[in-house]
Structure 1
Amino acid sequence: MKKILAVDDQAEVINIIADFLDHNYEVYPAKTTRKAFALLHKTKFDLILLDILMPGMNGIEFLEYIKTQIWYENTPVIFVSSEADFKTVSQAVNLGANGYIKKPIEKEILLEKIKLVIGG
């Protein structure tokens, strides 16, 4: 089963993602980027679902960092965020994000984006 790291500081968002993906993927939750880094050191993920508005290191900074690290540089990232202005979305894509989903999350859109990036 493919492994997905869900990084969001809101537990309810992680729970929604986990519920939506429950039967098709193994979801690992991280409420902070620090927790996400700890999980990245232990497990190889097929995909990272990443919020932008995070305490401490935000999602854009997190993506910038992992794209410089040989272990994670090829790990696909889809942003899941309420931040949807053109500047933010284009910055995410320019940094190497593989997709962008606006909150509130719709199950069909989430599943479709994931399938496009890593398959079913």
Structure 2
Amino acid sequence: MGPVSAPGSRQRVPGQARKYALVVDDDDASLRTFERLLSKHPVELLLAKTPSEALGLVSMLDPTPQPIVGFLDVLIPGMDGPRFVHALRTMPAFGGAPIVLVSALSGTALDAKALEWGASGIIQKARGLIHVDQEFTGWLERIG
């Protein structure tokens, strides 16, 4: 069992709407890095190592639309990218929310595939942590 965080596990500012960031990565080092980068933002982190853990966490959220963004590793065991994105899209919390794929792979073919699958965009790990951090910040700003 990997690091899974339940909704509401982080403190938030009273009176401020909850915003969530779902991070799914089977690599412990990547998950810790993403947690460190995102922890400086006013969001509640939902961390999972598998698609099934992630879907379980999302199912615990209030079913009304939430300010949420998902960051998903492309190459994750248990469910391929298209099925995982589709499964999230069918959940009320993620109907129109941004789903961003994160990958060590690169190339325009992967970018096109991500959009075809229903993802909102892709972040390439190979561009470095500063770029990944800037991308995270940009996507978090889009959800308010």
TM range (shorter): 0.7 to 0.9
TM-score under structure 2 length normalisation: 0.71
Unaligned 5+ segments in structure 1 are none
One-letter code of the match for 2:102?
A: V
Aligned to 1:23, which of 25, 40, 44? 40
Shift of 1:28: 1.3
- Range that drifts further, 76-85 or 34-43: 76-85
SS of alignment partner, residue 57 of structure 2: helix
One-letter code of the match for 2:136?
A: L
- Do the aligned residues in 2 keep the contact of 1:48 with 1:77 (CA within 8 Å)? yes
TM-score under structure 1 length normalisation: 0.84
One-letter code of the match for 2:88?
A: I
Relative distance call for 1:108 and 1:61 in structure 2 (3 A) is: same
Structure-1 residue corresponding to 2:61:
43
Larger radius of gyration: 2
Shift of 1:17: 1.1
- Do the aligned residues in 1 keep the contact of 2:74 with 2:81 (CA within 8 Å)? yes
Shift of 1:34: 0.7
Unaligned 5+ segments in structure 2 are 1-17
4+ residue runs over 4 A deviation: none
Identity of aligned residues (%): 26
